[in-house]
């Protein structure tokens, strides 16, 4: 009988958000220079401008760090960083940059990288979730696990922002939960594990479709026709289109354009929409009160006391409503900001 050829867990994908720069600096510093694996990193970044992440990480450890580009092959012993406003994806053994739909409001998104790695490389992949708020990376980490890869989560007590690690621990039992300083040694062992060709389960149809959306940005995806979900009562914060609930009970949504949302991210985004609406309403009330006061003064000047009284009452009532709304806004709890800085 012919011997089944083998391969190794030679691809590491890592995702971080708020507090992630510090976590990534420590990770890069602790990974051995001779590690026989390629490393790909997504840090949540604002869409505009440039990122200094690659420059920062080059100062730590001995691994070369590059900004990933489409068509760039996986380089063992090298760190590949996602550029702003592009999903970093894996197709076969090379990188692809995509301007596909945002996921939980992010591009680059951690889930997009993790999912593409799971689809393309299966058990060869080790996924790492680091510091951050909300839950980007959780669905991708589940995809890696389902394809036979390994999963690592930063110990929430070690993270500057524990939301992403805690949410990961809510949804799966990772292979390792570690402080970042201990990950280098663990990864050096994981990447030397041998896996048989064809090991791990096949990527599901829904996983492949979501990967295709991130890569190609297919418009007007009919998730119901694809058997991926049902129409929900919620709307997409990015485009106001109707969201479909994928895999009911899993807390994951996509609109027909392709924007993806977790329940945690959708809740936060709807809170932002609500707050913006309140500020818009407050501005409108302030402008209405100012206009009513000007009209009141003009009516008084021309001796039109009836109109002056009406405008004065309007100004007083509008001011009262604005004060109530202003108190409501100042009482809103502070929210952590998703940022890689």
Q: Which residues does the annotation mark as catalytic?
A: 17, 44, 136
316/307 Cα distance (integer angstroms): 14
- To which residue do tokens 């996509």 refer? 254
DSSP strand E in 130-285: where?
Answer: 150-154, 176-178, 194-196, 229-235, 242-246, 252-255, 260-262
Contact 162, 132 (CB under 8 A): no
What is the C-alpha to C-alpha distance for residues 101 and 239, in angstroms, rounded to an integer? Answer: 11
| CA dihedral over 172, 178, 179, 181, signed as positive or negative | negative
The secondary structure element, H or E, covering residue 41 is: strand 38-43
Token output for 330: 């100042």
* 3 state SS of 46: coil
Nearest to 36 by CA among 76, 79, 93: 76
* Angle ∠(153,176,96) on CA atoms, nearest 5: 55
Distance CA 71, CA 269 (A): 34
Q: Are 156 and 168 in contact (CB under 8 A)?
A: no
Q: Nearest to residue 136, comparing CAs of 170, 167, 161, 162? A: 167
CA–CA separation, 84 and 107 (whole Å)? 7
Residue with tokens 């080059």: 58
Judged by phi (left if over 0) then psi (alpha if -120 to 50, else beta), residue 108 lies in beta
């Amino acid at each position: 009988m012919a011997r089944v050829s083998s391969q190794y867990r030679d691809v590491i994908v890592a995702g971080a958000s708020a507090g992630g720069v510090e976590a990534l600096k420590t990770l890069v510093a602790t990974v051995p220079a001779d590690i026989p694996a390629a490393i790909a990193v997504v840090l949540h970044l604002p869409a505009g401008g440039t990122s200094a992440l690659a420059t920062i990480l080059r100062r730590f450890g001995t691994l070369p760090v590059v900004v990933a580009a489409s068509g760039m092959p996986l380089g063992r012993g090298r760190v590949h960083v996602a550029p702003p406003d592009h999903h970093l994806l894996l197709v076969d053994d090379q990188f692809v940059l995509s301007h596909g739909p945002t996921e939980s409001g992010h591009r680059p998104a951690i889930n997009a990288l993790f999912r593409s790695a799971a689809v393309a490389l299966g058990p060869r992949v080790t996924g790492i979730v680091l510091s951050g708020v909300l839950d980007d990376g959780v669905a991708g980490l589940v995809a890696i696990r389902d394809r036979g890869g390994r999963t690592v989560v930063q110990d929430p007590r070690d993270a500057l922002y524990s939301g992403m690690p805690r949410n990961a621990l809510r949804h799966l039992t990772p292979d390792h939960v570690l402080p970042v300083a201990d990950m280098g040694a663990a990864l050096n062992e994981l990447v030397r594990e041998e896996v048989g060709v064809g090991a791990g389960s096949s990527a599901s149809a829904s996983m492949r479709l979501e990967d295709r959306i991130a890569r190609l940005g297919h418009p007007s995806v009919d998730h119901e026709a694809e058997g991926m979900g049902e129409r929900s009562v919620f709307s997409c914060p990015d485009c106001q289109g109707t969201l479909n609930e994928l895999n009911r009970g899993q807390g994951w949504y996509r609109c027909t354009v392709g924007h993806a949302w977790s329940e945690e991210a959708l809740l936060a985004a709807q809170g932002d929409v609500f707050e913006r609406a309140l500020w818009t309403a407050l501005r409108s009330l302030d402008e209405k009160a100012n206009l009513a006061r000007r009209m009141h003064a003009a009516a008084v000047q021309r001796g039109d006391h009836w109109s002056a009284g009406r405008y004065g009452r309007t100004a007083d009532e509008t001011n009262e409503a604005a004060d109530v709304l202003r108190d409501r806004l100042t009482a809103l709890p502070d929210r952590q900001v998703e940022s890689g800085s």
